[in-house]
Amino acid sequence: MLRKFPEPADLPGNCCYGDGTEISSQTMDWILEAYQRLEIALPWQTGDVLMLDNLRLAHARNVYLGERKIPVVLADAITITGPQ
């Protein structure tokens, strides 16, 4: 994996706080456990559409079979900065 991503910060599973400090594996395990406990799985059907606020919700998707289409993005890009 380090051949493809020579810098540890570029690794797909690398997690950092806003100041760049790495989040420990123990803390990440705790966060992922909380996500799993609070997960709401939606019973998707053909033709369903979901709109959500990326700033208010943590979201992901489980593994599935089939085609995935993302036809539209309904927002302008924004930059979020930390406390001043």
- How many Å apart are CA 84 and CA 64, to the nearest integer? 42
pLDDT (tens place) for every residue of the chain, 84 residues total:
456 666 666 666 678 888 888 899 899 899 889 988 988 888 888 888 887 777 777 777 777 778 877 766 667 777 777 765
**Total count of domains within the chain:** 1
Q: Can you give the pLDDT at residue 14?
A: 73
Q: How far is CA 41 from the centre of its chain?
A: 15
Range of the domain at 13: 1-84
Q: Can you give the pLDDT at residue 27?
A: 93
Q: Indicate whether this model's pTM tops 0.95.
A: no
Q: Can you give the pLDDT at residue 22?
A: 86
DSSP H/E element including 28: helix 25-38
Q: Can you give the pLDDT at residue 4?
A: 65
- How many Å apart are CA 46 and CA 69, to the nearest integer? 12
